[in-house]
């Protein structure tokens, strides 16, 4: 909507951040970290068969006013709006997910932020694998924070690849290049992600929320909590208690009945 005005105070309350914001790295890191810890990654509206609009008004209404979560086009869309409102030089990127070993389409939105000629990859929308802080746009520089390590490497075919450390190996997360991304590109990626039968988000219930030194994740009926490398796992019941658990663990409160959710396989393995 052309008359949309970003409400900074509502946004800061939503992400539980009271620090003053300036156009510098410390504020960028604070906004990134606060939103990441406060707004869950989730696709539950897709599981309810809802349309997922990604215009500024719709994103702000859902994630801030209605206190819901979202996925990359919503989460990074919100952070993009916030950074623009505070005067940061920021633009969207589109990436290909490589988690299965095979590159996907350009269906992952991330952000590129430049401050005083220094540039960072910023991403709060990659679920449990999301970088926990901005990643300096420096090739082969390892970034460590809490329990996680990331790096950017060059890719002859795809431009750049974000990787995370997995013990003795580096895992490919997603690739991207620096070509311009238009609103129509984001709409096309979001349309596939939220409607295609081939989209991972159509065929599973997913949620993730980072916590200090760990992460909470949900895949269909399996909930995992990993803190400092220690893992706990439980399986949820196929009944209305599922909605109560979403509210308790992820602060996802639905105005829907359990039967409205798309059926999924229970006691699943992944």
The question of whether 260 is a catalytic residue gets the answer no
Residue-level pLDDT at 122: 98
Q: How far apart are CA 44 and CA 51, in angstroms?
A: 11
Give me the residues paired with residue 176 across strands: 95, 160
Q: How far is CA 45 from CA 7, 242, 254, in A?
A: 24, 15, 9
Give percent of the chain with pLDDT exceeding 70: 98
Average pLDDT value over all residues in the chain: 95
User: For the chain, where are the E strands, in sequence order?
Assistant: 41-42, 89-97, 106-115, 118-122, 135-136, 143-145, 148-155, 159-166, 169-176, 206-211, 214-219, 222-227, 230-235
The mean-pLDDT minimum among 12-21, 213-222, 246-255, 260-269 falls in: 260-269
Closest CA to 79 of 117, 50, 47, 37: 37
242 Cβ partners below 8 Å, 6+ apart? 221, 236, 258, 261
Closest CA to 47 of 216, 198, 263: 263
Residue-level pLDDT at 3: 87
Whether the per-residue pLDDT at 1 is higher than 70: the answer is no
Q: What is the pLDDT of residues 224-233, one digit of tens each?
A: 999 988 999 9
Q: What is the pLDDT of residues 170-182, one digit of tens each?
A: 999 999 999 999 9
Give all domains of the chain, ordered by start, each with its CATH number.
8-260 (3.30.2140.20)
**Catalytic choice (32, 98, 108, 221):** 108
The question of whether 32 is a catalytic residue gets the answer no
Q: How far apart are CA 14 and CA 31, in angstroms?
A: 11
Whether the per-residue pLDDT at 2 is higher than 70: the answer is no
The question of whether 47 is a catalytic residue gets the answer no
Give percent of the chain with pLDDT exceeding 90: 89
Q: How far apart are CA 116 and CA 218, in angstroms?
A: 39
What's the pTM?
0.95
**Catalytic choice (45, 72, 98, 221):** 72
Q: What is the pLDDT of residues 104-153, one digit of tens each?
A: 999 999 999 999 999 999 999 999 999 989 999 999 999 998 888 999 99
pLDDT bucket at 269, cuts 50 / 70 / 90? very low
**Catalytic choice (45, 98, 123, 221):** 123
Arithmetic mean of pLDDT, 247-254? 96
Q: What is the pLDDT of residues 69-92, one digit of tens each?
A: 999 999 999 999 999 999 999 999
Residue-level pLDDT at 270: 42
Whether the per-residue pLDDT at 254 is higher than 50: the answer is yes
Rounded to 10 deg, the angle between the 72-85 and 25-38 helix axes is 140
Phi, psi of 68 (to 5 degrees): -105, 175
């Amino acid at each position: 909507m052309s008359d949309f005005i970003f409400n900074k105070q509502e946004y800061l309350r939503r992400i539980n951040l009271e620090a003053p914001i300036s156009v510098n790295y410390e504020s960028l890191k604070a906004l990134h970290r606060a939103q990441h810890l406060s707004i869950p990654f989730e696709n539950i509206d897709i599981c309810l068969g809802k349309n997922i609009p990604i215009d500024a008004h719709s994103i702000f209404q859902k994630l801030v006013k209605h206190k819901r979560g979202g996925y990359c086009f919503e989460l990074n869309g919100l952070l993009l709006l916030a950074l623009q409102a505070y005067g940061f030089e920021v633009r969207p990127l589109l990436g290909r997910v490589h988690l299965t070993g095979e590159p996907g389409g350009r269906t992952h939105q991330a952000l590129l932020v430049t401050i005083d000629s220094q540039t960072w990859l910023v991403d709060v929308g990659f679920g449990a694998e999301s970088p926990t802080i901005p990643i300096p746009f420096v090739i082969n520089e390892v970034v460590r924070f809490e329990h996680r390590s990331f790096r950017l490497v060059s890719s002859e075919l795809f431009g750049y690849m974000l990787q995370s450390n997995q013990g003795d190996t580096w895992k490919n997360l997603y690739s991207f290049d620096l070509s311009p991304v238009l609103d129509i590109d984001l709409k096309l990626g979001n349309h596939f992600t939220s409607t295609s039968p081939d989209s991972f988000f159509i065929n599973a219930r997913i949620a993730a929320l980072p916590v200090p030194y760990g992460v909470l994740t949900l895949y269909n009926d399996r909930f995992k909590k990993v803190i400092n490398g220690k893992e706990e796992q439980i399986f949820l019941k196929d009944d209305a208690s599922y909605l109560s658990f979403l509210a308790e663990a992820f602060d996802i409160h639905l105005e829907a009945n359990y039967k409205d959710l798309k059926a999924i396989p229970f006691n699943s393995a992944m």
